[in-house]
């Protein structure tokens, strides 16, 4: 019997998990992994620790090259997929012969969004997504003293934290009225912002860069804000979110919206082509609608489901739940689910202790826990996530939320689905 040809484009969380899932249930198929990066799989979530110097390069890797041999995988590292021939079921590469597939997984991830302003292409302007980005930033910051971060999302502030620990002078420029506007509610974010300022970071809210100016050598010299203010800088980091890498799917006629549309089996609009990870637009567990969830745990879960189905094992995703935990400027912040939701249909219990930099907010909808914002008392983040995932109704004493919760501090009952 001819061996099934399983092809995966992408060598990170979703792609690697899918490959392992396929191999565990299908020992005979030919599994090919295509990646435009020429190194084994590594953890993108650790790149800011590498930038900081907290860990070495070797600690980033999830595996070495021998891993691909052990799982009988064919790695095409340093090869870029440039097109899909859906009719002939082939992946076209930038060099070498095309690769035929019976099943295909697109796990191409996402790329940083750069603002369309003059000077964005100067030397010393970076977005952090890949190991190569982190390497380049590590080298460039050695000769830099002043850095401007454009955007105050999670990645932008993680980069800011790493560079602050390298003793660089930082200015964060953010269009929104708060930092971490996509992760935390304003009160929680204010604790992080206060800590940043106490560490010497300048935070400019409601501001935008209009231009990046360079020196005679084509390297960054200063930033021009919309009001004309000039900020000296030898390095600029863009942290304005990411955009899914959709070109392959769109050119092949695969259904897309914000990301590649997938069903609970992670199938796209073409039945033998799957998508997972930051490029996929799948089910949101709490809203029941399709949405993006560009976080590592979601990529792993979606890769597992895609891999099982590619191997002929029926599996489905119950949907993603947002969850982020991060350490920034001496503070720990966690956001789960619909952490920022408010207004009609939502009820929130909150506790704030400014002198201790503690903030806790739980969000309910019809008695169900649907979100949480936690700053500096985050030990129960995993427990609260499990409560959200289990669809449990909670009866909570408002005073109880001041401290981390557990089964002994709440009364709950399982609600039938």
Categorize the per-residue pLDDT at 410 as very low, low, confident or very high, splitting at 50, 70 and 90: low
Categorize the per-residue pLDDT at 408 as very low, low, confident or very high, splitting at 50, 70 and 90: low
Length of the chain: 417
* Structural contact between residues 326 and 154, judged by C-beta atoms closer than 8 angstroms: yes
Beta strands of 182-234 (E only): which ranges?
202-205, 209-214, 220-225, 230-232
* Structural contact between residues 317 and 31, judged by C-beta atoms closer than 8 angstroms: no
Of 207, 240, 273, which residue sits at a domain end?
240
Residues 104 and 12 in one domain: yes
Counting DSSP H helices and E strands in the chain, the numbers are 9, 28
The answer to whether residue 162 is domain-embedded is yes
Instruction: For residues 134-146, give the mean pLDDT.
Output: 98
pLDDT exceeding 70 applies to what percent of the chain?
A: 97
What are the tens digits of pLDDT across the range 237-260? 999 999 999 999 999 999 999 999
Residues 6+ apart with CB under 8 A from 278: 14, 109, 110, 242, 244, 259, 292, 294, 299
What are the tens digits of pLDDT across the range 186-202? 999 999 999 999 999 99
pLDDT score, position 416? 42
* CATH number of the domain enclosing 135: 3.50.50.60
What are the tens digits of pLDDT across the range 19-74? 999 999 999 999 999 999 999 999 999 999 999 999 999 999 999 999 999 999 99
Does the structure show a pLDDT above 80 at 413? no
Beta bridge partners of 222: 213, 232
pLDDT score, position 284? 97
- Burial class from Cβ neighbours inside 10 Å (0-12, 13-18, 19+) for residue 200 reads exposed
Residues 129 and 213 in one domain: yes
Q: Which two tokens stand for residue 29?
A: 């198929």
What are the tens digits of pLDDT across the range 329-387? 999 999 999 999 988 899 999 999 989 999 999 999 999 999 999 999 999 999 999 99
Residues 15 and 91 in one domain: yes
DSSP character string of 77-99: ET--EEEEETTTTEEEESSS--E
DSSP conformation class of 57: G
Does the structure show a pLDDT above 70 at 414? no
Q: Which two tokens stand for residue 346?
A: 């939502």
Beta bridge partners of 231: 223
Q: Which of 24, 21, 70, 17 is nearest to 41 (CA)?
A: 17
Does the structure show a pLDDT above 70 at 77? yes
Residues 129 and 236 in one domain: yes
The answer to whether residue 120 is domain-embedded is no
> Distance between CA 360 and CA 334 in Å, rounded?
10
Categorize the per-residue pLDDT at 409 as very low, low, confident or very high, splitting at 50, 70 and 90: low
Beta bridge partners of 98: none
Beta pairing class for 81-85 and 331-337: unpaired
Of 219, 240, 261, which residue sits at a domain end?
240
pLDDT score, position 305? 99
Angle between helices 13-25 and 296-310 (to 10 degrees): 30
Residues 27 and 103 in one domain: yes
What domain range includes position 160? 125-240
Overall number of domains in the chain = 3
> Distance between CA 376 and CA 145 in Å, rounded?
30
Residues 6+ apart with CB under 8 A from 330: 195, 199
DSSP character string of 223-290: EEETTS-EEE-SEEEE-S-EEE--HHHHHTT--BSSSEE--TT-B-SSTTEEE-GGGEEEEBTTTSSE
The answer to whether residue 203 is domain-embedded is yes
Categorize the per-residue pLDDT at 1 as very low, low, confident or very high, splitting at 50, 70 and 90: low
Tokens 């360079």 locate to 214
What are the tens digits of pLDDT across the range 258-287? 999 999 999 999 999 999 999 999 999 999
Of 188, 221, 240, which residue sits at a domain end?
240
* Structural contact between residues 176 and 153, judged by C-beta atoms closer than 8 angstroms: no
* CATH number of the domain enclosing 363: 3.30.390.30
Instruction: For residues 385-413, give the mean pLDDT.
Output: 78
pLDDT score, position 342? 84
> Distance between CA 381 and CA 62 in Å, rounded?
25
Does the structure show a pLDDT above 50 at 320? yes
The answer to whether residue 74 is domain-embedded is yes
pLDDT score, position 407? 62
């Amino acid at each position: 019997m001819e061996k099934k040809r399983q092809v995966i484009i992408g060598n990170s969380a979703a792609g690697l998990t899918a490959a392992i899932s396929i191999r565990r249930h299908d020992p005979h198929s030919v599994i090919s992994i295509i990646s435009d990066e020429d190194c084994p799989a590594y953890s993108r979530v650790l790149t800011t620790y590498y930038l900081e110097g907290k860990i070495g390069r070797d600690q980033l890797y999830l595996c070495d090259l021998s891993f691909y041999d052990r799982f009988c995988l064919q790695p095409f590292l340093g090869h870029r997929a440039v097109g899909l021939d859906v009719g002939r079921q082939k992946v076209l590469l930038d060099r070498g012969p095309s690769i035929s597939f019976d099943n295909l997984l697109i796990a191409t991830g996402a790329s940083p969004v750069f603002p369309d302003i003059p000077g964005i292409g100067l030397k010393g302007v970076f977005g952090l997504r890949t190991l190569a980005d982190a390497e380049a930033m590590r080298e460039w910051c050695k000769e830099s003293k002043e850095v401007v971060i454009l955007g105050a999302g999670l990645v932008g502030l993680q980069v800011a934290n790493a560079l602050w620990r390298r003793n660089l002078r930082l200015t964060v420029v953010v269009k929104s009225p708060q930092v971490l506007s996509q992760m935390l509610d304003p009160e929680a974010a204010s604790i992080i912002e206060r800590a940043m300022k106490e560490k010497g970071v300048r935070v400019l809210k409601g501001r935008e860069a209009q231009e990046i100016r360079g020196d005679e050598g084509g390297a960054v010299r200063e930033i021009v804000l919309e009001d004309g203010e000039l900020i000296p800088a030898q390095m600029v980091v863009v942290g304005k979110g990411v955009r899914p890498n959709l070109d392959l799917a769109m050119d092949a006629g695969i259904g897309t919206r914000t990301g590649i549309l997938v069903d609970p089996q992670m199938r796209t609009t073409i039945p033998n082509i799957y998508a997972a990870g930051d490029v996929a637009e799948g089910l949101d567990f709490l809203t029941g609608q399709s949405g993006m969830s560009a976080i590592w745990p979601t990529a792993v879960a979606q890769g597992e489901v895609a891999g099982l189905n590619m191997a002929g094992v029926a599996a489905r995703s119950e949907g993603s739940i947002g969850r982020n935990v991060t350490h920034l400027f001496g503070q720990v912040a966690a956001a789960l689910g619909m952490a920022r939701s408010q207004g009609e249909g939502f009820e929130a219990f909150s506790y704030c202790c400014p002198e201790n930099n503690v903030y806790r907010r739980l969000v309910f909808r019809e008695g169900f826990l649907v979100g949480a914002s936690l700053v500096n008392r985050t030990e129960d983040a995993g427990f609260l996530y499990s409560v959200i995932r289990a669809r449990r109704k909670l009866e909570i004493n408002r005073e109880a939320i001041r401290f981390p919760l557990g089964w002994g501090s709440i009364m709950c009952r399982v609600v039938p689905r």
